């Protein structure tokens, strides 16, 4: 799937699976703070382990990001805050992460679309898919949900989505550029000129004019959210939903 999306000119960012570790720790803490700890929960251990775990993850991410050019790390808290507009935090499961993680990165200007790969009739995936419609209306985030059951995905659907993402990225970039020009204000204070400007994020690909035609100078980046459940084909073979 990643190869096919990249062949259409998109840059793919796979969901970091570290988010599920963070989310599990968050649910433990939430259960204790809500006054509903399980008999095996040890509050001091849960909070101390969570703090150490988060520190280790931050250090590892920062170290790798310096060498591999990664962007900022989308934390579970930022995903929950973004996804909480559509899915209740009390509804435990991956639906809120599937909505919130890409929305958080989209707001930060790091992606231009999201592809959600789920098994056939996966309930958390279907919940997320229904909310993606509202997310697109509210924020403009293009999305495509693919239900996999061992069958090949229609190439036309992928190409249509890639076209939508590219057009949306161009519109978004042009809007940000015009907004920058509008907000580029200069005024004189005595002999000094003060200028303020809001510029577009460097993560959003720029477009150049070549022979009168707009051409992308970089690839649009999308967020791929694979299901965390195994996918079973009609032939009985198991395919990891992480592919």
Distance, CA of 230 to CA of 237 (rounded, Å) = 10
What backbone phi and psi angles, to 5 degrees, belong to 13?
Answer: -115, 115
Judge whether 29 lies within some domain: no
**Whether the Cβ atoms of residue 119 and residue 126 lie closer than 8 Å to each other:** no
Judge whether 127 lies within some domain: yes
| Owning domain of residue 115 | 2-16+74-239
- Give the pLDDT band of residue 213 (cuts 50, 70, 90): very low
Judge whether 223 lies within some domain: yes
What backbone phi and psi angles, to 5 degrees, belong to 238?
Answer: -95, 130
What is the residue-averaged pLDDT of the chain? 74
**Whether the Cβ atoms of residue 204 and residue 176 lie closer than 8 Å to each other:** yes
Judge whether 123 lies within some domain: yes
Ranking 158-162, 170-174, 204-208 by mean pLDDT, the lowest is 204-208
Given a cut of 60, whether residue 207 has pLDDT beyond it is no
How confident is the model at residue 176, as a pLDDT?
Answer: 59
Ranking 96-100, 149-153, 159-163, 203-207 by mean pLDDT, the lowest is 203-207
Per residue in 14-68, pLDDT (tens digit) is: 887 788 888 988 888 888 888 887 777 778 888 888 888 888 888 888 888 888 8
Closest residue by Cα to residue 70 from 221, 200, 177: 221
Judge whether 67 lies within some domain: no
Q: Read off the pLDDT of each residue in 130-146 and give the average, rounded to a whole number.
A: 93
Judge whether 21 lies within some domain: no
Given a cut of 60, whether residue 208 has pLDDT beyond it is no
Distance, CA of 21 to CA of 18 (rounded, Å) = 5
**Whether the Cβ atoms of residue 218 and residue 201 lie closer than 8 Å to each other:** no
Given a cut of 90, whether residue 172 has pLDDT beyond it is no
What backbone phi and psi angles, to 5 degrees, belong to 126?
Answer: -70, -35
What percent of the chain stands above pLDDT 90? 23
Judge whether 35 lies within some domain: no
- Give the pLDDT band of residue 221 (cuts 50, 70, 90): low
**Whether the Cβ atoms of residue 142 and residue 136 lie closer than 8 Å to each other:** yes
In this structure, what token pair is assigned to residue 233?
Answer: 């084909």
- Give the pLDDT band of residue 81 (cuts 50, 70, 90): very high
Q: How many domains does the chain have?
A: 1
Query: In Å, how far are 57, 74, 127, 148, 175 from 96, measured between CA atoms?
Result: 21, 14, 9, 20, 29
How confident is the model at residue 217, as a pLDDT?
Answer: 32
**Whether the Cβ atoms of residue 94 and residue 116 lie closer than 8 Å to each other:** no
Judge whether 135 lies within some domain: yes
Helix axes 18-33, 76-83, angle to 10 degrees: 70
- Dihedral of the CA atoms 97, 102, 104, 109 (nearest 10)? 170
Q: DSSP alpha helices (H): ranges in the chain?
A: 2-7, 18-33, 43-68, 76-83, 95-107, 123-139, 155-182
For residue 86, what is the DSSP state?
Answer: T
In this structure, what token pair is assigned to residue 142?
Answer: 């293009």
Residue whose entry in the numeric block shows the structure tokens 């599920």: 20
């Amino acid at each position: 799937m990643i190869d096919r999306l990249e062949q259409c000119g998109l840059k793919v960012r796979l969901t970091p699976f570290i988010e599920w570790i963070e989310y599990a720790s968050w649910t433990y803490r939430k259960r204790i703070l809500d006054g509903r700890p399980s008999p095996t929960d040890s509050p001091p251990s849960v909070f101390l382990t969570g703090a150490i775990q988060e520190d280790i993850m931050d250090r590892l991410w920062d170290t790798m990001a310096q060498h591999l050019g990664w962007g900022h790390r989308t934390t579970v808290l930022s995903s929950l805050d973004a996804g909480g507009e559509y899915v209740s935090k009390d509804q435990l499961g991956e639906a809120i992460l599937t909505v919130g993680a890409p929305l958080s990165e989209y707001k930060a200007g790091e992606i231009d679309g999201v592809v959600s790969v789920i098994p056939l009739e996966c309930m958390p995936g279907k919940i997320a898919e229904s909310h993606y419609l509202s997310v697109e209306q509210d924020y403009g985030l293009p999305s495509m949900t693919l239900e996999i059951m061992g069958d090949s995905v229609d190439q036309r659907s992928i190409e249509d989505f890639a076209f939508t993402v590219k057009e949306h990225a161009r519109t978004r970039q042009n809007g940000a550029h015009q907004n920058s020009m509008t907000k580029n204000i200069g005024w004189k204070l005595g002999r000094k000129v003060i200028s303020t400007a809001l510029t577009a994020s460097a993560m959003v690909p720029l477009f150049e004019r070549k022979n009168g035609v707009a051409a992308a100078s970089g690839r649009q980046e999308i967020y791929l959210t694979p299901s965390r459940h195994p996918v079973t084909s009609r032939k009985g073979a198991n395919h990891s939903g992480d592919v």
